[in-house]
Amino acid sequence: MDKEIEIFKKLLFFNRDYFGKMGYTHYVEEIYNVNSLENIFCVCSFCNDELSKKITFTFCSSVKESIEKVIEVYLTENNSTSIDIPTFLAYKELKRKIRHEDTEKYWFKVDPKRLEESIQEQLAKIIALLNTDLHKIFTTDEWIDIPTHDPRDDY
């Protein structure tokens, strides 16, 4: 398997106790495009069965330098509604309907030249954010609806 994916999984799994303390005890891991020579996607989820919520981390490993390496983090409720942390942060700052470009400055970008340290830094940043006002959304029945711009609205 791809070395980058292995590093990501190891560092994420290292934080499993933190998610366990938040009630996310069930861990699921899926790898997509395993036989691809270009992109491999690793999707790891921590599930809170009591709240019917899931925290999903996605990391794409790519041989193409033009593809930016980013860790995506989503919170899904009842296997349907989901929000990602960058959208939440953009909405918190802008207090309006969110466009894709509003979220870019909040992405968890990984520096491929310092892969392991960069992944570790981004995961630490994510966990720090989960200890802010996001904590209530992740650990209780509370939810937030964020209005987002759908490009189809432009036609």
pLDDT tens readout for residues 62-118? 766 656 789 999 999 987 889 999 999 999 999 999 998 999 999 999 998 899 999
Residue 129 has pLDDT above 90, yes or no: yes
Residue at token pair 């970008």 = 109
Q: What is the pLDDT of residue 29?
A: 92
pTM > 0.85: yes
